[in-house]
Amino acid sequence: MPQTRGYDIKGDRVLFREQRHCIHSHEVKKKQGKNAVTKRPQSLRARDTCCTAAIHLWLNRQRLSHTHPLEINLKYTHNHMINSAESLSFRQVKKEVHEELLELFKDGHSPSSALYVYQDKLHLEASDEQELIELLADRSVNPDYDYVAKLFQEYREAVLGSRNGKSMFSRLEEVIKDYNDSGLGNAILQEYDARTGKSFILCIVTGLMSRIHEKVPQAAEICYVDASASFEPLNTSITLLYTSCAIGALPLGLIVTSDELEITLEKAFNMLKTILPPHAFYGCGPQTGPILFLTDDSSAERNALELCFPKTIRLLCTFHILQAFWRWLHDSKHHIKKEDRVSIMTKMKKILYALLSTEMDAFYHEFKQEFYHSYPQLQKHFELLWERRCLWALSYRSGLPTRGNNTNNYVEKSFGILKDIVFARTQAFNSVQVFQFITTNMERFYQRRILGFANKHPGHLQIAKRFLCPGWESVCQNGILETNVMNEFLVQSTSQDSGTFYVVNSEFGTCSCPVGISGAPCKHQGAVSMKFHISMFNFIPSLTPDDRIIYTYIALGYVAKDRSFYASLHAKPAPQSQEIIHSEMAVPNNTLILEIKELSEENKEVDILEFSSFLEEMKLDYQNAGQILRTSLDKFKDRYNAAKSKSIPRLSSFLYDLNRNIDPMARINSGAHIRVQVESVKRRKTQGSSNKRRISVPTRNEKENLDPQAIPARKKKKTGKKEHNLSVHIVKNQPN
């Protein structure tokens, strides 16, 4: 029963005195005073029934010697049913229920989801239907939504602070200090202040990111940088720094800023350098940075990187260059004829993708002769692009460790993961919650992703097919030679009657072939790895238990106590017996080439004999087997002829894909599902309404005494979602 009156104990005679009343008493309204606002006094949900039931407790010192010293005056005169569903719906919520709801909020539940989970638990715990009816009717164990929503609002203000302004930054400072003291990572903050012109900057390097800097070699070679917004109502910008390896994209650092101005980004990158570990970028150091930065064509971002990392090379994403050029062609102000757009774009792509500078120059001169006289605006625009060709043309990237990556697709996909999985398509309440999502949810996501790879338990992890080095089986094993240079091998080209040899370096994961020259995986690397049983980070099947231990350390900073936990299920085959020919030079001499050619011819004869015996065996199977097998072979013959009639490469693809339903390695995604980042769906509701509209933030003109630390909300670009497939739009001659 609620307390009607508490008495102040004076003197030594009375030790305890208290009076309580029924929750439906008129005393409730008296105690609430002005707060008791009843719009409809005659409402059926009015709690006041003027019930006079009460209890008076009195403990007098003089009665302590009695067997029953406590005096109880009970007035049991209820004017209503005390155990009805309606009466139970007005009871006060128990403290243990209050605490349980707080625990659900800590797990990330909203008021509605917390109430659903709690009610579902009550439902399952009920022993019979009668108990279930009483439990769900009793507000003390089954609170209403208004109570849960108010409790959530109080919890959110206590944990996250306000949505904006000084109180939010005070809470953010406390959270960052606790995070830095915990040893889980490092973060640094610059508070927003309109009076001094300071922008809001938050830099984060988690423990996982620090270990990626330490153990992933690609961190020293290439770093993708991109920015996106719509993570919380103020529309602050998040800038990601990522590298890539066989697992996919891995984070190196993260920056949150109130704007994307050059001066803000320069300050942010310099602040980030102060919290990067000494071994940042695989030992290059935070002041030096990686060899390459790959970005889109944002002048503010690129200039800031140049000022903060002057020793690095900054390249442009080829997709964004082509996309911007295609949109320029479709702009009506430039007067490009519709029938000429595709041919102009085709020439542009030839210039961009040319691997040799001589080819690029030849395509450029053809471009000028064909289009410059008809389109003066195109001439002016393309000449500006041509002056910056070293940033986007592939012919200028020969020898650079791009690992075959010329676009920002890795970081674009990572933004999709951040919004879809980490933020669950829901905007954060404020920057404090953004920080918590990044340091907890995002950290756990990448830990599980890396552990799945280390444990050979990938789940939904999609591995790029190129890291399986498809086609390595076609490389002649006897045409692979080990040189006298450590970790270097000579691999004969698979082209027919070719005397070309490629140099493979297993330590750096490179090959002198057109595909592997930039460090991308190629079939020659896979063939070397399989023949000599060498671990190469470009070839996933070659990874050893030691490599898996390293990935476990990256994920958790810890490895299993027993190293046998990472042992391979299948025993490794013994190395092939081979005659190792040492060469004094990296390029074989004519005598060596002749010997290898003779050996190759001998192998061809052996292969033909083996294949002839296979065909004879298939012929016998067709003659002697039953109708089911003959029907299957007939279908195979029809499909073989159909594929051959189109082209020999199509026939090869058909034969390679025969095992697609048997070999699990053939079902690994080849990376075609990478899409451009998408706009965040607004799902936060305004207070006191069900409309899904954005919560408004007052501008400085609307309020004179605005908090100088309140970040003004940035406007969002109202752009429709577009398909991330430029080639399709070029064929259709429509804007992308």
pLDDT digits (tens, 9 = 90+) for 74-100: 888 787 777 777 778 888 899 999 999
Residue 682 has pLDDT above 50, yes or no: no
Q: Which tokens sit at 499?
A: 């005397």
Handedness of CA 124, 128, 133, 137 (dihedral sign): negative
> How long is the chain?
736
Sequence letter at residue 259: D
Handedness of CA 613, 616, 622, 624 (dihedral sign): negative
The pLDDT of residue 347: 95
The pLDDT of residue 252: 97
Average pLDDT of every residue of the chain: 80
Average pLDDT score over residue span 111-123: 92
Residue 35 has pLDDT above 80, yes or no: no
Average pLDDT score over residue span 616-638: 79
The pLDDT of residue 574: 40
The pLDDT of residue 460: 53
Lowest average pLDDT, out of 99-113, 375-389, 614-628, goes to 614-628
The band of 437, judged by pLDDT with boundaries at 50, 70 and 90, is very high
pLDDT digits (tens, 9 = 90+) for 37-47: 444 555 556 77
The pLDDT of residue 587: 35
Identify any residues that bridge with 74 across adjacent strands, giving them in sequence order. Answer: 55
The pLDDT of residue 690: 44
Average pLDDT score over residue span 667-677: 33
Average pLDDT score over residue span 6-23: 72
Strands 222-228 and 292-295: parallel
The band of 112, judged by pLDDT with boundaries at 50, 70 and 90, is very high
Average pLDDT score over residue span 652-670: 42
Lowest average pLDDT, out of 125-134, 552-561, 597-606, 715-724, goes to 597-606
Average pLDDT score over residue span 302-322: 95
pLDDT digits (tens, 9 = 90+) for 235-251: 899 999 999 988 889 99
Q: Where are the alpha helices (DSSP H) in 89-165?
A: 95-106, 111-125, 129-137, 145-160
Q: Which residue in 281, 490, 316 sits closest to 394, CA to CA?
A: 316
The band of 365, judged by pLDDT with boundaries at 50, 70 and 90, is very high
The pLDDT of residue 207: 95
Lowest average pLDDT, out of 408-412, 572-576, 701-705, 721-725, goes to 572-576
The pLDDT of residue 584: 31
The pLDDT of residue 340: 92
Residue 408 has pLDDT above 70, yes or no: yes
The band of 541, judged by pLDDT with boundaries at 50, 70 and 90, is confident
Residue 326 has pLDDT above 60, yes or no: yes
Backbone angles phi, psi at 198, to 5 degrees: -85, 135
Lowest average pLDDT, out of 101-115, 313-327, 629-643, goes to 629-643
Q: Where are the alpha helices (DSSP H) in 313-470?
A: 318-330, 338-353, 357-371, 376-387, 389-392, 409-417, 431-436, 443-454
Distance CA 138, CA 118 (A): 14
CA distances to 91, 230, 243, 525, 583 from 596, in Å: 91, 61, 40, 19, 13
Average pLDDT score over residue span 636-640: 79
pLDDT above 90 as % of the chain: 40
Residue 206 has pLDDT above 90, yes or no: yes
The pLDDT of residue 585: 30
The band of 280, judged by pLDDT with boundaries at 50, 70 and 90, is very high
User: Directed axis angle between helix 545-556 and helix 443-454, to 10°?
Assistant: 170
Identify any residues that bridge with 54 across adjacent strands, giving them in sequence order. Answer: 21, 75
Residue 659 has pLDDT above 60, yes or no: no
pLDDT above 70 as % of the chain: 79
Sequence letter at residue 258: S
pLDDT digits (tens, 9 = 90+) for 381-394: 999 999 999 999 99
The pLDDT of residue 669: 33
The pLDDT of residue 648: 66
pLDDT higher at 78 or 176: 176
Q: Using CB atoms within 10 A of its CB, is residue 459 exposed (0-12), middle (13-18) or buried (19+)?
A: exposed
CA distances to 173, 338, 564, 578 from 572, in Å: 53, 60, 15, 17
The pLDDT of residue 370: 94
The band of 662, judged by pLDDT with boundaries at 50, 70 and 90, is very low
Lowest average pLDDT, out of 490-494, 604-608, 632-636, goes to 604-608
pLDDT higher at 626 or 297: 297
